[in-house]
Structure 1
Amino acid sequence: AGFDALLPKPRVDRGRPRTLPAEVIKVLLATKEANPKLSVQLVIRETLKHRDVPDDLPLPPSTVHRLLTRHGLMSGSDSQDTDTNRRRFAFQSPGQLWMSDVMHGPTVRIKDRSKRKTYLIAFIDDATRVIPYAAFSLAENTRAFLPVFKQAIVRRGLPERLYVDNGSSYRSNHLSLVCAKLGVALIHARPYRPQGKGKIERWFKTVRGQLLILPDQ
Protein backbone atom coordinates (compact mmCIF):
# COMPACT_ATOMS: atom_id res chain seq x y z
CA ALA A 1 0.00 0.00 0.00
CA GLY A 2 0.99 3.66 -0.15
CA PHE A 3 4.33 4.35 -1.82
CA ASP A 4 5.16 0.65 -2.02
CA ALA A 5 2.50 0.37 -4.73
CA LEU A 6 4.45 2.90 -6.79
CA LEU A 7 7.73 1.01 -6.68
CA PRO A 8 8.93 -0.06 -10.13
CA LYS A 9 9.31 -3.77 -10.72
CA PRO A 10 12.82 -5.14 -10.03
CA ARG A 11 15.13 -5.22 -13.00
CA VAL A 12 15.59 -8.60 -14.65
CA ASP A 13 18.78 -7.70 -16.54
CA ARG A 14 21.13 -7.30 -13.63
CA GLY A 15 24.37 -8.51 -15.20
CA ARG A 16 28.05 -8.02 -14.59
CA PRO A 17 29.26 -5.71 -17.34
CA ARG A 18 32.96 -4.87 -17.69
CA THR A 19 32.22 -1.15 -18.10
CA LEU A 20 29.95 1.00 -15.98
CA PRO A 21 26.35 0.97 -17.26
CA ALA A 22 24.68 4.29 -17.93
CA GLU A 23 22.29 3.75 -14.99
CA VAL A 24 25.22 3.28 -12.60
CA ILE A 25 26.96 6.39 -13.90
CA LYS A 26 23.79 8.41 -13.29
CA VAL A 27 23.56 7.14 -9.71
CA LEU A 28 27.24 7.84 -9.01
CA LEU A 29 26.93 11.41 -10.29
CA ALA A 30 23.64 12.08 -8.51
CA THR A 31 25.04 10.70 -5.23
CA LYS A 32 28.04 13.00 -5.37
CA GLU A 33 25.91 15.99 -6.41
CA ALA A 34 23.56 15.35 -3.50
CA ASN A 35 26.43 15.52 -1.02
CA PRO A 36 29.62 17.05 -2.47
CA LYS A 37 31.55 16.28 0.73
CA LEU A 38 31.29 12.50 0.28
CA SER A 39 34.58 10.74 -0.36
CA VAL A 40 34.93 8.40 -3.33
CA GLN A 41 34.58 5.39 -1.03
CA LEU A 42 31.36 6.75 0.47
CA VAL A 43 29.99 7.56 -2.98
CA ILE A 44 30.61 3.94 -3.95
CA ARG A 45 28.99 2.64 -0.77
CA GLU A 46 25.87 4.75 -1.25
CA THR A 47 25.65 3.86 -4.94
CA LEU A 48 25.69 0.13 -4.18
CA LYS A 49 22.59 0.64 -2.01
CA HIS A 50 20.60 1.94 -4.99
CA ARG A 51 17.93 -0.35 -6.43
CA ASP A 52 19.30 -0.04 -9.98
CA VAL A 53 22.82 -1.07 -8.99
CA PRO A 54 23.79 -4.73 -8.38
CA ASP A 55 25.30 -4.92 -4.90
CA ASP A 56 28.14 -7.09 -6.22
CA LEU A 57 29.06 -4.77 -9.10
CA PRO A 58 32.81 -3.95 -9.05
CA LEU A 59 33.32 -0.20 -8.66
CA PRO A 60 37.07 0.49 -8.55
CA PRO A 61 37.76 3.73 -6.64
CA SER A 62 40.17 4.89 -9.37
CA THR A 63 37.46 4.48 -12.02
CA VAL A 64 34.87 6.33 -9.93
CA HIS A 65 37.35 9.10 -9.13
CA ARG A 66 38.08 9.63 -12.83
CA LEU A 67 34.35 9.72 -13.59
CA LEU A 68 33.62 12.30 -10.89
CA THR A 69 36.63 14.39 -11.92
CA ARG A 70 35.56 14.33 -15.56
CA HIS A 71 32.18 15.78 -14.54
CA GLY A 72 33.72 18.46 -12.32
CA LEU A 73 32.56 16.91 -9.05
CA MET A 74 35.93 16.51 -7.32
CA SER A 75 36.92 20.17 -7.24
CA GLY A 76 37.06 22.61 -4.35
CA SER A 77 34.57 23.25 -1.59
CA ASP A 78 32.55 25.97 -3.30
CA SER A 79 32.56 24.55 -6.82
CA GLN A 80 28.76 24.46 -6.86
CA ASP A 81 28.67 28.24 -6.99
CA THR A 82 30.28 28.57 -10.43
CA ASP A 83 28.25 29.15 -13.56
CA THR A 84 29.32 25.76 -14.88
CA ASN A 85 27.95 23.96 -11.85
CA ARG A 86 24.74 25.95 -11.85
CA ARG A 87 24.11 24.73 -15.38
CA ARG A 88 24.06 21.14 -14.10
CA PHE A 89 20.45 21.74 -13.25
CA ALA A 90 19.53 22.68 -16.83
CA PHE A 91 18.39 19.22 -17.84
CA GLN A 92 17.27 18.38 -21.36
CA SER A 93 14.73 15.55 -20.96
CA PRO A 94 11.47 15.26 -18.97
CA GLY A 95 11.84 13.46 -15.69
CA GLN A 96 15.58 13.96 -15.30
CA LEU A 97 15.07 16.45 -12.49
CA TRP A 98 12.07 17.70 -10.54
CA MET A 99 12.28 20.64 -8.18
CA SER A 100 9.95 21.08 -5.25
CA ASP A 101 9.30 24.04 -3.01
CA VAL A 102 6.62 25.48 -0.75
CA MET A 103 4.87 28.84 -1.08
CA HIS A 104 3.07 30.42 1.86
CA GLY A 105 -0.57 30.75 0.87
CA PRO A 106 -3.57 32.66 2.23
CA THR A 107 -5.23 32.16 5.58
CA VAL A 108 -8.49 30.20 5.36
CA ARG A 109 -11.33 29.25 7.67
CA ILE A 110 -11.79 25.53 8.25
CA LYS A 111 -14.80 23.57 9.51
CA ASP A 112 -14.63 24.75 13.10
CA ARG A 113 -14.42 28.35 11.77
CA SER A 114 -10.88 28.77 13.05
CA LYS A 115 -8.31 30.41 10.80
CA ARG A 116 -5.42 28.36 9.42
CA LYS A 117 -2.50 29.31 7.25
CA THR A 118 -2.08 27.39 3.99
CA TYR A 119 0.98 26.22 2.11
CA LEU A 120 1.22 25.46 -1.61
CA ILE A 121 3.44 22.43 -2.20
CA ALA A 122 4.51 22.21 -5.84
CA PHE A 123 6.77 20.31 -8.22
CA ILE A 124 8.22 21.52 -11.51
CA ASP A 125 10.03 19.55 -14.21
CA ASP A 126 13.32 21.28 -14.91
CA ALA A 127 13.42 20.46 -18.63
CA THR A 128 9.81 21.16 -19.62
CA ARG A 129 8.61 23.57 -16.87
CA VAL A 130 5.55 21.32 -16.54
CA ILE A 131 3.99 21.19 -13.07
CA PRO A 132 3.57 17.45 -12.32
CA TYR A 133 1.33 18.33 -9.38
CA ALA A 134 0.69 21.04 -6.80
CA ALA A 135 -1.69 21.24 -3.86
CA PHE A 136 -2.47 23.42 -0.88
CA SER A 137 -1.94 22.00 2.59
CA LEU A 138 -2.51 23.17 6.14
CA ALA A 139 1.01 22.18 7.16
CA GLU A 140 4.57 22.45 5.89
CA ASN A 141 6.10 19.13 6.82
CA THR A 142 6.93 15.69 5.44
CA ARG A 143 3.49 14.32 6.22
CA ALA A 144 1.93 17.02 4.02
CA PHE A 145 4.62 16.76 1.34
CA LEU A 146 4.45 13.02 0.63
CA PRO A 147 0.82 12.84 -0.63
CA VAL A 148 1.57 15.64 -3.10
CA PHE A 149 4.72 13.83 -4.23
CA LYS A 150 2.69 10.66 -4.70
CA GLN A 151 0.12 12.40 -6.90
CA ALA A 152 2.89 13.93 -9.01
CA ILE A 153 4.37 10.46 -9.58
CA VAL A 154 0.98 8.97 -10.43
CA ARG A 155 0.49 11.63 -13.11
CA ARG A 156 4.00 11.92 -14.55
CA GLY A 157 5.98 8.85 -13.49
CA LEU A 158 9.13 8.68 -11.39
CA PRO A 159 11.74 11.41 -11.74
CA GLU A 160 15.41 10.50 -11.71
CA ARG A 161 16.25 13.28 -9.25
CA LEU A 162 14.34 15.43 -6.77
CA TYR A 163 15.85 18.81 -5.86
CA VAL A 164 14.49 20.26 -2.63
CA ASP A 165 15.20 22.91 -0.06
CA ASN A 166 17.50 22.33 2.89
CA GLY A 167 14.72 22.83 5.46
CA SER A 168 13.88 20.35 8.19
CA SER A 169 10.78 19.02 6.42
CA TYR A 170 13.00 17.87 3.53
CA ARG A 171 15.70 16.44 5.80
CA SER A 172 13.48 13.80 7.38
CA ASN A 173 14.50 10.15 7.39
CA HIS A 174 11.04 9.28 6.08
CA LEU A 175 11.49 11.29 2.88
CA SER A 176 14.99 9.89 2.39
CA LEU A 177 13.66 6.35 2.79
CA VAL A 178 10.81 6.91 0.33
CA CYS A 179 13.17 8.31 -2.29
CA ALA A 180 15.62 5.46 -1.74
CA LYS A 181 12.88 2.87 -2.21
CA LEU A 182 11.68 4.58 -5.37
CA GLY A 183 15.18 4.95 -6.77
CA VAL A 184 14.95 8.75 -6.84
CA ALA A 185 18.14 10.67 -6.06
CA LEU A 186 17.27 13.23 -3.36
CA ILE A 187 19.31 16.43 -3.73
CA HIS A 188 19.23 19.21 -1.13
CA ALA A 189 20.03 22.82 -1.95
CA ARG A 190 23.01 24.13 -0.06
CA PRO A 191 22.03 26.42 2.85
CA TYR A 192 21.64 30.08 1.85
CA ARG A 193 22.52 29.23 -1.77
CA PRO A 194 19.26 28.19 -3.45
CA GLN A 195 20.66 28.02 -7.01
CA GLY A 196 18.24 26.52 -9.48
CA LYS A 197 15.03 27.48 -7.67
CA GLY A 198 14.26 30.42 -9.95
CA LYS A 199 12.00 28.34 -12.20
CA ILE A 200 9.60 27.29 -9.47
CA GLU A 201 9.80 30.73 -7.86
CA ARG A 202 8.62 32.28 -11.13
CA TRP A 203 5.68 29.87 -11.18
CA PHE A 204 4.83 30.83 -7.60
CA LYS A 205 4.89 34.49 -8.69
CA THR A 206 2.36 33.66 -11.41
CA VAL A 207 0.14 31.91 -8.87
CA ARG A 208 0.27 34.93 -6.57
CA GLY A 209 -0.51 37.35 -9.38
CA GLN A 210 -3.26 35.42 -11.17
CA LEU A 211 -4.83 33.14 -8.57
CA LEU A 212 -4.28 34.55 -5.10
CA ILE A 213 -5.76 37.97 -5.83
CA LEU A 214 -8.42 37.94 -3.11
CA PRO A 215 -7.53 39.37 0.31
CA ASP A 216 -7.62 37.15 3.37
CA GLN A 217 -11.07 37.09 4.94
Structure 2
Amino acid sequence: MAHATHANAALTPRARLRLGRLVIDHGWSPARAAERYDVSWRTAKKWAERYRDEGPAGMFDRSSAPHHQPNRTPPPVVRKIVYLRWKQRLGPVEIGDRLGMASSTVHAVLVRCRINRLTHIDRATGEPIRRYEHEHPGDLIHVDVKKLGKVPDGGGWRYTGRQQGFRNRARTAARTGAPKSKYHQPLIGTCYLHTVIDDHSRVAYVEAHDDETKETSVAVLRNAVAWFADRGVTVHRVLSDNGGAYRSFLWRDTCAELGITPKRTRPYRPQTNGKIERFHRTLTEGWAFKKFYNSESARLAALPAWVHQYNHHRPHSAVGKAPPITRLNNLAGHHT
Protein backbone atom coordinates (compact mmCIF):
# COMPACT_ATOMS: atom_id res chain seq x y z
CA MET A 1 0.00 0.00 0.00
CA ALA A 2 1.42 3.41 -0.96
CA HIS A 3 1.72 6.07 1.70
CA ALA A 4 2.32 9.78 1.14
CA THR A 5 4.90 11.75 3.10
CA HIS A 6 4.02 15.28 4.14
CA ALA A 7 5.83 18.12 2.40
CA ASN A 8 7.96 19.19 5.39
CA ALA A 9 9.24 15.74 6.38
CA ALA A 10 13.01 15.66 6.94
CA LEU A 11 13.21 11.95 6.12
CA THR A 12 11.54 9.78 3.55
CA PRO A 13 10.08 6.43 4.74
CA ARG A 14 13.09 4.65 3.19
CA ALA A 15 15.56 6.91 5.03
CA ARG A 16 13.67 6.40 8.30
CA LEU A 17 13.95 2.65 7.85
CA ARG A 18 17.70 2.89 7.28
CA LEU A 19 18.08 5.09 10.33
CA GLY A 20 16.07 2.69 12.48
CA ARG A 21 18.13 -0.29 11.34
CA LEU A 22 21.39 1.52 12.12
CA VAL A 23 20.27 2.15 15.69
CA ILE A 24 18.40 -1.08 16.47
CA ASP A 25 20.16 -3.67 14.28
CA HIS A 26 23.69 -2.27 14.14
CA GLY A 27 23.98 -0.65 17.54
CA TRP A 28 24.50 2.97 16.51
CA SER A 29 23.61 5.60 19.05
CA PRO A 30 20.67 7.90 18.24
CA ALA A 31 23.05 10.88 18.29
CA ARG A 32 25.37 9.29 15.71
CA ALA A 33 22.45 8.32 13.47
CA ALA A 34 20.97 11.81 13.82
CA GLU A 35 24.25 13.35 12.67
CA ARG A 36 24.40 10.94 9.72
CA TYR A 37 20.94 11.93 8.51
CA ASP A 38 21.13 15.59 9.57
CA VAL A 39 18.15 15.47 11.93
CA SER A 40 17.70 16.11 15.62
CA TRP A 41 18.50 13.52 18.28
CA ARG A 42 14.82 13.32 19.25
CA THR A 43 13.79 12.63 15.65
CA ALA A 44 16.32 9.84 15.31
CA LYS A 45 15.22 8.32 18.63
CA LYS A 46 11.53 8.49 17.60
CA TRP A 47 12.04 6.59 14.32
CA ALA A 48 14.38 4.08 15.94
CA GLU A 49 11.77 3.27 18.60
CA ARG A 50 9.05 3.11 15.96
CA TYR A 51 11.17 0.62 13.99
CA ARG A 52 11.79 -1.46 17.10
CA ASP A 53 8.09 -1.61 17.99
CA GLU A 54 6.44 -1.82 14.55
CA GLY A 55 9.12 -2.74 12.04
CA PRO A 56 9.15 -1.31 8.48
CA ALA A 57 5.38 -0.70 8.58
CA GLY A 58 5.89 1.98 11.24
CA MET A 59 8.02 4.21 9.00
CA PHE A 60 5.08 6.02 7.41
CA ASP A 61 3.30 9.18 8.57
CA ARG A 62 0.21 8.84 10.70
CA SER A 63 -2.87 11.01 10.68
CA SER A 64 -2.76 13.83 13.19
CA ALA A 65 -6.50 13.54 13.81
CA PRO A 66 -7.38 12.46 17.37
CA HIS A 67 -8.58 8.89 17.82
CA HIS A 68 -11.62 10.06 19.76
CA GLN A 69 -13.67 13.22 19.12
CA PRO A 70 -16.26 13.42 21.90
CA ASN A 71 -17.47 16.87 20.75
CA ARG A 72 -18.06 15.90 17.14
CA THR A 73 -21.58 16.55 15.84
CA PRO A 74 -23.67 13.38 16.35
CA PRO A 75 -24.71 11.51 13.16
CA PRO A 76 -28.47 12.13 13.69
CA VAL A 77 -27.83 15.89 13.79
CA VAL A 78 -25.62 15.66 10.71
CA ARG A 79 -28.47 13.93 8.87
CA LYS A 80 -30.84 16.76 9.83
CA ILE A 81 -28.37 19.37 8.59
CA VAL A 82 -27.92 17.56 5.28
CA TYR A 83 -31.69 17.19 4.88
CA LEU A 84 -32.33 20.90 5.43
CA ARG A 85 -29.50 21.78 3.05
CA TRP A 86 -30.61 19.53 0.19
CA LYS A 87 -34.36 19.74 0.47
CA GLN A 88 -34.80 23.37 1.52
CA ARG A 89 -31.42 24.80 0.45
CA LEU A 90 -31.01 26.69 3.73
CA GLY A 91 -27.77 28.37 4.75
CA PRO A 92 -25.74 27.75 7.93
CA VAL A 93 -27.43 30.58 9.86
CA GLU A 94 -30.98 29.38 9.10
CA ILE A 95 -30.11 25.74 9.76
CA GLY A 96 -28.41 26.66 13.03
CA ASP A 97 -31.46 28.64 14.11
CA ARG A 98 -33.79 25.73 13.39
CA LEU A 99 -31.63 23.17 15.17
CA GLY A 100 -30.50 25.40 18.03
CA MET A 101 -26.79 25.19 17.24
CA ALA A 102 -23.98 27.51 16.19
CA SER A 103 -23.89 28.42 12.50
CA SER A 104 -20.12 27.81 12.49
CA THR A 105 -20.76 24.19 13.51
CA VAL A 106 -23.33 23.83 10.75
CA HIS A 107 -20.88 25.25 8.23
CA ALA A 108 -18.18 22.81 9.36
CA VAL A 109 -20.60 19.91 8.82
CA LEU A 110 -21.54 21.20 5.36
CA VAL A 111 -17.87 21.47 4.38
CA ARG A 112 -17.14 18.00 5.71
CA CYS A 113 -20.07 16.61 3.69
CA ARG A 114 -18.99 18.68 0.66
CA ILE A 115 -22.33 20.43 0.30
CA ASN A 116 -21.26 23.88 1.50
CA ARG A 117 -21.95 25.14 -2.05
CA LEU A 118 -25.26 24.69 -3.84
CA THR A 119 -23.98 24.76 -7.40
CA HIS A 120 -24.34 20.99 -7.72
CA ILE A 121 -27.88 20.81 -6.30
CA ASP A 122 -30.93 21.10 -8.55
CA ARG A 123 -33.02 24.14 -7.59
CA ALA A 124 -36.37 22.52 -8.31
CA THR A 125 -35.93 19.17 -6.54
CA GLY A 126 -33.08 19.73 -4.10
CA GLU A 127 -31.44 16.56 -5.39
CA PRO A 128 -27.80 16.37 -6.48
CA ILE A 129 -27.50 17.11 -10.19
CA ARG A 130 -26.81 13.96 -12.19
CA ARG A 131 -24.89 14.97 -15.26
CA TYR A 132 -25.01 12.73 -18.28
CA GLU A 133 -23.40 12.52 -21.66
CA HIS A 134 -24.35 10.22 -24.51
CA GLU A 135 -21.61 7.92 -25.65
CA HIS A 136 -21.44 8.69 -29.37
CA PRO A 137 -21.93 11.75 -31.59
CA GLY A 138 -25.46 11.84 -32.98
CA ASP A 139 -26.98 9.71 -30.21
CA LEU A 140 -28.84 12.86 -29.15
CA ILE A 141 -29.00 16.43 -30.39
CA HIS A 142 -30.54 19.32 -28.49
CA VAL A 143 -32.58 21.94 -30.34
CA ASP A 144 -33.94 25.27 -29.15
CA VAL A 145 -34.53 28.88 -30.18
CA LYS A 146 -32.73 31.88 -28.67
CA LYS A 147 -34.52 35.20 -29.15
CA LEU A 148 -32.54 38.43 -29.43
CA GLY A 149 -33.73 41.93 -30.13
CA LYS A 150 -32.34 43.15 -33.42
CA VAL A 151 -29.60 45.77 -33.43
CA PRO A 152 -30.85 49.17 -34.67
CA ASP A 153 -28.97 51.16 -37.28
CA GLY A 154 -26.23 53.03 -35.47
CA GLY A 155 -25.96 50.52 -32.61
CA GLY A 156 -27.92 49.45 -29.56
CA TRP A 157 -28.24 51.07 -26.14
CA ARG A 158 -25.66 48.80 -24.52
CA TYR A 159 -22.91 50.71 -26.31
CA THR A 160 -24.49 54.03 -27.30
CA GLY A 161 -26.48 54.76 -24.12
CA ARG A 162 -30.23 54.66 -23.64
CA GLN A 163 -31.08 58.00 -25.21
CA GLN A 164 -29.05 57.46 -28.39
CA GLY A 165 -30.18 53.84 -28.51
CA PHE A 166 -33.83 54.93 -28.41
CA ARG A 167 -33.23 57.39 -31.25
CA ASN A 168 -31.50 54.67 -33.27
CA ARG A 169 -34.45 52.36 -32.72
CA ALA A 170 -36.91 55.03 -33.78
CA ARG A 171 -35.01 55.76 -37.00
CA THR A 172 -34.69 52.06 -37.80
CA ALA A 173 -38.41 51.48 -37.16
CA ALA A 174 -39.29 54.42 -39.40
CA ARG A 175 -37.04 53.08 -42.16
CA THR A 176 -38.46 49.55 -42.00
CA GLY A 177 -42.06 50.60 -41.38
CA ALA A 178 -42.26 48.49 -38.21
CA PRO A 179 -45.28 49.20 -35.96
CA LYS A 180 -45.01 50.63 -32.50
CA SER A 181 -45.83 48.70 -29.36
CA LYS A 182 -48.91 49.42 -27.30
CA TYR A 183 -46.66 51.60 -25.12
CA HIS A 184 -45.68 53.59 -28.23
CA GLN A 185 -42.15 52.21 -28.19
CA PRO A 186 -40.50 51.71 -31.61
CA LEU A 187 -40.20 48.05 -32.56
CA ILE A 188 -37.42 46.80 -34.81
CA GLY A 189 -38.08 43.07 -34.64
CA THR A 190 -36.62 39.93 -33.11
CA CYS A 191 -33.87 37.64 -34.34
CA TYR A 192 -34.68 33.97 -33.77
CA LEU A 193 -31.52 31.90 -33.48
CA HIS A 194 -32.33 28.24 -34.09
CA THR A 195 -29.57 26.34 -32.33
CA VAL A 196 -28.58 22.67 -32.43
CA ILE A 197 -26.03 21.03 -30.08
CA ASP A 198 -24.68 17.49 -30.28
CA ASP A 199 -24.86 16.02 -26.78
CA HIS A 200 -21.61 14.05 -26.94
CA SER A 201 -19.29 16.44 -28.75
CA ARG A 202 -20.95 19.82 -28.00
CA VAL A 203 -20.55 20.72 -31.66
CA ALA A 204 -23.02 23.51 -32.49
CA TYR A 205 -25.08 24.42 -35.55
CA VAL A 206 -26.87 27.81 -35.69
CA GLU A 207 -29.24 29.49 -38.14
CA ALA A 208 -30.75 32.98 -37.77
CA HIS A 209 -34.38 33.52 -38.86
CA ASP A 210 -37.21 35.99 -38.45
CA ASP A 211 -39.63 33.49 -36.88
CA GLU A 212 -39.89 30.24 -34.96
CA THR A 213 -42.70 28.59 -36.91
CA LYS A 214 -42.91 24.85 -37.38
CA GLU A 215 -41.90 25.22 -41.03
CA THR A 216 -38.74 27.10 -40.11
CA SER A 217 -37.92 24.70 -37.27
CA VAL A 218 -38.30 21.70 -39.57
CA ALA A 219 -36.11 23.31 -42.23
CA VAL A 220 -33.40 23.95 -39.62
CA LEU A 221 -33.60 20.33 -38.46
CA ARG A 222 -33.17 19.05 -42.01
CA ASN A 223 -30.20 21.37 -42.58
CA ALA A 224 -28.59 20.41 -39.27
CA VAL A 225 -28.97 16.68 -39.92
CA ALA A 226 -27.37 17.11 -43.35
CA TRP A 227 -24.59 19.27 -41.85
CA PHE A 228 -23.77 16.61 -39.26
CA ALA A 229 -23.97 13.86 -41.91
CA ASP A 230 -21.28 15.67 -43.92
CA ARG A 231 -19.09 15.26 -40.83
CA GLY A 232 -19.77 11.58 -40.42
CA VAL A 233 -22.47 11.87 -37.76
CA THR A 234 -25.86 10.14 -38.00
CA VAL A 235 -28.51 11.71 -35.76
CA HIS A 236 -30.68 9.22 -33.86
CA ARG A 237 -32.65 11.33 -31.36
CA VAL A 238 -33.57 14.99 -30.91
CA LEU A 239 -34.51 16.67 -27.64
CA SER A 240 -36.59 19.86 -27.63
CA ASP A 241 -38.74 21.85 -25.27
CA ASN A 242 -42.54 21.90 -25.49
CA GLY A 243 -42.80 24.79 -27.95
CA GLY A 244 -45.60 24.71 -30.49
CA ALA A 245 -43.30 23.93 -33.41
CA TYR A 246 -41.93 20.86 -31.64
CA ARG A 247 -45.41 19.57 -30.75
CA SER A 248 -46.67 19.85 -34.32
CA PHE A 249 -47.52 16.97 -36.60
CA LEU A 250 -45.05 18.40 -39.12
CA TRP A 251 -42.18 18.03 -36.63
CA ARG A 252 -43.27 14.48 -35.77
CA ASP A 253 -43.58 13.45 -39.41
CA THR A 254 -40.26 15.02 -40.38
CA CYS A 255 -38.46 13.21 -37.55
CA ALA A 256 -40.03 9.95 -38.73
CA GLU A 257 -38.91 10.64 -42.30
CA LEU A 258 -35.34 11.31 -41.13
CA GLY A 259 -35.30 8.24 -38.87
CA ILE A 260 -34.99 10.36 -35.72
CA THR A 261 -36.80 9.74 -32.42
CA PRO A 262 -38.23 13.02 -31.06
CA LYS A 263 -38.03 13.65 -27.30
CA ARG A 264 -39.37 16.58 -25.29
CA THR A 265 -38.36 17.94 -21.91
CA ARG A 266 -40.65 17.83 -18.93
CA PRO A 267 -42.77 21.02 -18.67
CA TYR A 268 -41.16 23.80 -16.60
CA ARG A 269 -37.87 21.88 -16.44
CA PRO A 270 -35.36 23.75 -18.65
CA GLN A 271 -32.53 21.97 -16.79
CA THR A 272 -33.26 18.89 -18.92
CA ASN A 273 -32.03 20.84 -21.93
CA GLY A 274 -29.26 22.46 -19.92
CA LYS A 275 -26.47 21.95 -22.44
CA ILE A 276 -28.14 24.14 -25.03
CA GLU A 277 -29.15 26.71 -22.39
CA ARG A 278 -25.48 26.97 -21.43
CA PHE A 279 -24.54 27.31 -25.09
CA HIS A 280 -27.00 30.20 -25.44
CA ARG A 281 -25.22 31.99 -22.61
CA THR A 282 -21.87 31.46 -24.31
CA LEU A 283 -23.39 32.63 -27.60
CA THR A 284 -24.74 35.88 -26.20
CA GLU A 285 -21.60 36.68 -24.22
CA GLY A 286 -19.13 35.68 -26.91
CA TRP A 287 -20.92 36.97 -30.00
CA ALA A 288 -24.22 38.86 -29.58
CA PHE A 289 -23.08 41.37 -26.93
CA LYS A 290 -19.33 40.88 -27.17
CA LYS A 291 -18.64 44.07 -29.13
CA PHE A 292 -20.28 47.03 -30.81
CA TYR A 293 -22.30 46.33 -33.97
CA ASN A 294 -23.70 49.25 -35.94
CA SER A 295 -26.53 47.19 -37.47
CA GLU A 296 -28.25 43.81 -37.30
CA SER A 297 -26.68 42.78 -40.59
CA ALA A 298 -23.21 43.48 -39.18
CA ARG A 299 -23.91 41.27 -36.18
CA LEU A 300 -25.30 38.43 -38.31
CA ALA A 301 -22.29 38.66 -40.61
CA ALA A 302 -20.07 37.88 -37.61
CA LEU A 303 -22.07 34.80 -36.58
CA PRO A 304 -20.55 32.13 -38.88
CA ALA A 305 -17.01 33.02 -37.86
CA TRP A 306 -17.92 32.85 -34.18
CA VAL A 307 -19.61 29.45 -34.56
CA HIS A 308 -16.53 28.16 -36.41
CA GLN A 309 -14.31 29.48 -33.62
CA TYR A 310 -16.52 27.78 -31.03
CA ASN A 311 -16.50 24.42 -32.82
CA HIS A 312 -12.93 24.26 -34.08
CA HIS A 313 -10.73 26.38 -31.82
CA ARG A 314 -12.36 27.25 -28.49
CA PRO A 315 -11.35 24.87 -25.64
CA HIS A 316 -14.45 23.36 -24.04
CA SER A 317 -14.30 22.34 -20.38
CA ALA A 318 -16.73 19.45 -20.94
CA VAL A 319 -14.55 18.01 -23.73
CA GLY A 320 -11.30 17.88 -21.78
CA LYS A 321 -10.45 21.48 -22.72
CA ALA A 322 -10.33 20.52 -26.41
CA PRO A 323 -12.43 22.03 -29.21
CA PRO A 324 -15.78 20.23 -29.68
CA ILE A 325 -14.99 19.22 -33.28
CA THR A 326 -12.22 16.90 -32.03
CA ARG A 327 -14.85 14.55 -30.65
CA LEU A 328 -16.42 13.82 -33.99
CA ASN A 329 -15.27 10.38 -35.08
CA ASN A 330 -14.72 11.48 -38.66
CA LEU A 331 -12.89 12.65 -41.15
CA ALA A 332 -9.80 14.07 -42.60
CA GLY A 333 -10.22 17.64 -43.63
CA HIS A 334 -13.06 18.65 -41.32
CA HIS A 335 -11.08 19.33 -38.14
CA THR A 336 -9.03 22.21 -39.46
Q: Distance in 1 between matches of 2:261 and 2:128?
A: 21
Q: Does the 8 Å CA contact 1:97/1:160 hold for their aligned counterparts?
A: yes
Q: Could you say if the C-alpha distance between residues 173 and 107 of structure 1 is closer, same or farther in structure 2, counting changes exceeding 3 Å?
A: same
Q: Distance in 2 between matches of 1:162 and 1:187?
A: 6
Aligned residue in 2 for 1:128: 201
Letter in 2 for 1:124: I
The 5 A counterparts of 1:48-87 are: none
Q: Mean alpha-carbon deviation: is it higher for 169-178 or for 149-158?
A: 149-158
Distance apart, 1:106 and its partner CA: 2.3
The 5 A counterparts of 1:1-217 are: 90-108=133-151, 112=176, 114=178, 115-131=188-204, 133-157=205-229, 158-213=234-289, 214=292
Q: Does the 8 Å CA contact 2:218/2:250 hold for their aligned counterparts?
A: no
Q: Distance in 2 between matches of 1:152 and 1:98?
A: 10
CA RMSD of aligned residues (A): 2.8
Structure 1: 5+ residue stretches without partners: 1-80
Identity over the aligned pairs, expressed in percent?
31
Q: Distance in 2 between matches of 1:104 and 1:159?
A: 25
TM-score (norm 1): 0.55
Higher helix share: 2
Q: Distance in 2 between matches of 1:191 and 1:216?
A: 38
Higher strand share: 1
Letter in 2 for 1:104: K
Which structure has the greater CA radius of gyration?
A: 2
Q: Could you say if the C-alpha distance between residues 198 and 216 of structure 1 is closer, same or farther in structure 2, counting changes exceeding 3 Å?
A: farther
Q: Does the 8 Å CA contact 1:86/1:196 hold for their aligned counterparts?
A: no
Q: Tell me the SS of whatever aligns to 2:150.
A: strand
Letter in 2 for 1:129: R
Q: Does the 8 Å CA contact 1:106/1:216 hold for their aligned counterparts?
A: no
Give the number of equivalent residue pairs.
Answer: 135
TM-score (norm 2): 0.36
Q: Tell me the SS of whatever aligns to 1:93.
A: coil
- Give the number of the structure with larger relative contact order, counting CA–CA contacts within 8 Å between residues 6 or more apart: 1
Q: Could you say if the C-alpha distance between residues 177 and 206 of structure 1 is closer, same or farther in structure 2, counting changes exceeding 3 Å?
A: same
Aligned residue in 1 for 2:70: none
Letter in 1 for 2:145: V
Q: Could you say if the C-alpha distance between residues 86 and 188 of structure 1 is closer, same or farther in structure 2, counting changes exceeding 3 Å?
A: farther
